[in-house]
Amino acid sequence: MEVFLEWWESNPITHLFLSPTIMMQAFPVILRAFPVSLFFGLGSFILGIPLGLALAFMKMARTRFARLPATIYVDVIRGTPLFLQILLVFFGLPLFPFWKSMIQANPWMNQAAIFGISWSAYLRGFLILSLNCAAYLCEIFRAGIQSISRGQMEAARSLGMTTPKAMAFVIIPQTVRRILPTMMSEFILLFKDTALLAAVGITEMVLRAREVAAARFNPSAYVLAAVFYLMVTIPLGRVVANLEAKLAISEGRGGPPRPPVDTETETTIDPDHPAPLPERARA
Amino acid sequence: MTEVATPSITESSKQDRGAPVVRIRDLHKSFGDLEVLRGVDMEVEKGEVVVILGPSGSGKSTLLRCVNKLEEPTAGEVWFEDVMVNDPKTNINEVRERIGMVFQSFNLFPHLTAKGNVMLAQRKVLKRSKEEAERIAIEQLTRVGLDDKIEYFPSQLSGGQQQRVAIARALAMDPHVMLFDEVTSALDPELVRGVLEVMRALVEAGMTMLVVTHEIGFAREAADRVVFMDGGVIVEEGTPEDVFDRPRSERTQDFLGHIR
């Protein structure tokens, strides 16, 4: 065993990328940063959902006054690198007078909050990540809602439902099922992109890995960080695949039908009512 | 409140005839430059079954969709009982509660079971209790012969069964009139019969019906009045015997000659 370990650490490839000693040292450091990455990813994603939904409805609005700003916003956000947007917000926002006065009025904002990251960094980080995520979600929502056939809205309206009711009980539930896999893929992308926050000094996993790598002159810590990312992305990717397969069944695109649930219809039939039609067409 | 559930179709009968349920005055509808309806006048009395025939593009579906304002008329008036449907001040949702509509493409809600489909608007529009809505849903599904398919999802049902769920969904709202928009056109021939049987039972029960269809057999035996439309106007109307056996207009003769 010791011989093997010696060989492992002396071999340049295994030593440089998979050194157990370095990884053991890096493990607690990266583990402590793991919730930071998850927090930024999950938090921004949740904030991005209502924003994205609002943008989607704006893009589908009848008036150009609503459509135009949403279209420009989505095009700009999706057409520029997230890295650039992060730099712009992190170094640009503090130059604004309103930001300066806000920090002056609330000095605690520059103090460290949970995980040793300042409130003002959290604010900017969540702001740009959720704004970015909202633009992508907007397109997912819009495509999802528009993929529901027009007849669904007509059927709901013909039953006397208002447009908001039809949206809430007929269109959105169908949309959610249809776009859930795409949304989860979007979350995976966002979660990986939290690594870009390292550039503005937020101590998420990649920045912590870089600290260890620089101190020990050995990139094994990066490999360990990669493993942490994969622990989230691979299971989620599996979930997405399963969801897609299930969706294909429930929408009637193959697969066995769900077994019907038996009901106690006998007891609820009104005796005063006409009997069921004697003959039925069967498929 | 529990007695409200009794569908109006069982209460009304052919004797109550007379009061107009739907009145259409000089109705025009254009889509851009295309004038689909060019002045249609029509009246449907309580308990009356009116079948609208005509070649495709004659405006018959558009006419039907103007009745519950799924299409907004360009000019003219559509009246349902004592409210003007196309008056901007009219609360269209209240009007639609009382007008049942069945579509060519069923338009069932795929995320809900047959029962859920029939319950949704009862709960959200009529604000019926869950128990009452459920009881009525089962009642109406039984009436259309689907008491054994209550918990099935639309994707597990045949086209004919789906269409019958759609009819039950409309009936559960206690409509004063039912609009049928080519409801058998998307069905395989062997599934048409079950849907037509349900519609015949509705006729028997005295339901006021406006039916756009190509089913001449149904029109002949079930209709009180047949309306033949072409080019956005009513070309001819009368009893089934008049229109089918003694058509006056050449266009009607031509059309009937083609589909026979």
Q: How would you write A15-75 as a 3-class SS string?
A: HHHHCHHHHHHHHHHHHHHHHHHHHHHHHHHHHHHHHHHHHHHHHCCCCHHHHHHHHHHHH
CB contact under 8 A, B121 and A160: yes
B128 interfacial to chain A (CB closer than 8 Å): no
Between residues 172 and 191 of chain B, which touch chain A (CB distance below 8 Å)? 173, 190-191
- B8 to chain A: nearest residue by CA? A273
The confidence score (pLDDT) of residue A279 equals: 38
* pLDDT tens string A49-76: 999 999 999 999 889 999 999 999 999 9
Tokens of residue B33, six digits: 């430059």
Q: Which amino acid type is present at position B216?
A: I
Across the interface, which of B107, B150, B193 has its CB nearest the CB of A154? B107
> What integer is the mean pLDDT of A248-258?
50
CB contact under 8 A, A174 and B138: no
> What's the residue count for chain A?
283
DSSP classification of residue A168: I
HEC assignment per residue over A209-224: HHHHHHHHCCCHHHHH
DSSP-assigned letters across all residues of A110-156 = GSB-GGG-BHHHHHHHHHHHHHHHHHHHHHHHHHHHHHS-HHHHHHH
Q: Looking at CA atoms only, how far is residue A253 from chain B in angstroms?
A: 9
CB contact under 8 A, A154 and B103: yes
pLDDT bracket for residue A259 (50, 70, 90): very low
Q: How many CB atoms lie within 10 A of CB A271?
A: 5
pLDDT at A213 over 50: yes
A151 interfacial to chain B (CB closer than 8 Å): yes
CB contact under 8 A, A257 and B147: no
> What integer is the mean pLDDT of A113-121?
77
Q: Looking at CA atoms only, how far is residue B243 from chain A in angstroms?
A: 30
**Which long-range contacts does B90-96 make (Cβ < 8 Å, 24+ apart)?**
B92/B68, B93/A157, B93/A160, B93/A161, B93/A162, B93/B125, B94/A160, B95/B68, B95/B69, B96/A157, B96/A158, B96/A159, B96/A160, B96/B68, B96/B69
> Nearest 5 degrees, angle CA A30-CA A36-CA A38?
100
Pair B47, B34: CB distance under 8 Å: no
Mean residue pLDDT of chain A comes to 83
Residue A51 makes CB contacts below 8 A (sequence gap 6+) with: A130, A131, A134, A137, A138
DSSP classification of residue B130: H
- CA A88 centroid distance within chain: 22
- Residue B40, beta-bridge partner list: B27
> What integer is the mean pLDDT of A136-165?
94
* pLDDT tens string A215-249: 888 888 899 999 999 999 999 989 888 888 877 66
Across the interface, which of A174, A261, A283 has its CB nearest the CB of B161? A283
Rg of chain B on CA atoms, in Å: 18
pLDDT at A187 over 60: yes
Helix and strand counts by DSSP (H, E) for chain A: 13, 0
- A248 to chain B: nearest residue by CA? B155
- In 3D space, the residue among A104, A122, A109, A108 whose CA is nearest the CA of residue A47 turns out to be A122
List of chain A residues whose C-beta atoms are within 8 Å of the C-beta of residue B175: none
Secondary structure of residue B244 in the 3-state scheme: helix
Across the interface, which of A170, A252, A270 has its CB nearest the CB of B155? A252
CB contact under 8 A, A274 and B205: yes
Between residues 37 and 56 of chain B, which touch chain A (CB distance below 8 Å)? none
CB contact under 8 A, B157 and A261: no
Pair A223, A17: CB distance under 8 Å: yes
pLDDT at A253 over 70: no
CB contact under 8 A, B191 and A250: no
HEC assignment per residue over B4-27: HHCCHHHHCCHHHCCCEEEEEEEE
DSSP classification of residue A1: -
List of chain B residues whose C-beta atoms are within 8 Å of the C-beta of residue A263: 115, 138, 150-151
With left for phi above 0 and alpha for psi between -120 and 50, is residue B47 left, alpha or beta? Answer: left
Residue B105 makes CB contacts below 8 A (sequence gap 6+) with: A149, A151, B186
| CA dist B127 → B97, B122, B173 (Å) | 12, 6, 11
Tokens of residue B211, six digits: 């039916």
CB contact under 8 A, B197 and A174: no
The confidence score (pLDDT) of residue A252 equals: 52
pLDDT: which is higher, A170 or A100: A170
Q: Looking at CA atoms only, how far is residue B14 from chain A in angstroms?
A: 17
Pair B203, B209: CB distance under 8 Å: yes
Across the interface, which of B96, B135, B160 has its CB nearest the CB of A160? B96
Pair B16, B47: CB distance under 8 Å: yes
Give this prediction's pTM.
0.77
B234 interfacial to chain A (CB closer than 8 Å): no
| Separation of alpha carbons B243 and B227, rounded Å | 8
Mean pLDDT in runs of 10 for chain B (260 residues)? 44 57 94 93 94 91 94 94 92 94 94 95 95 96 94 93 96 96 91 93 94 92 94 93 90 83
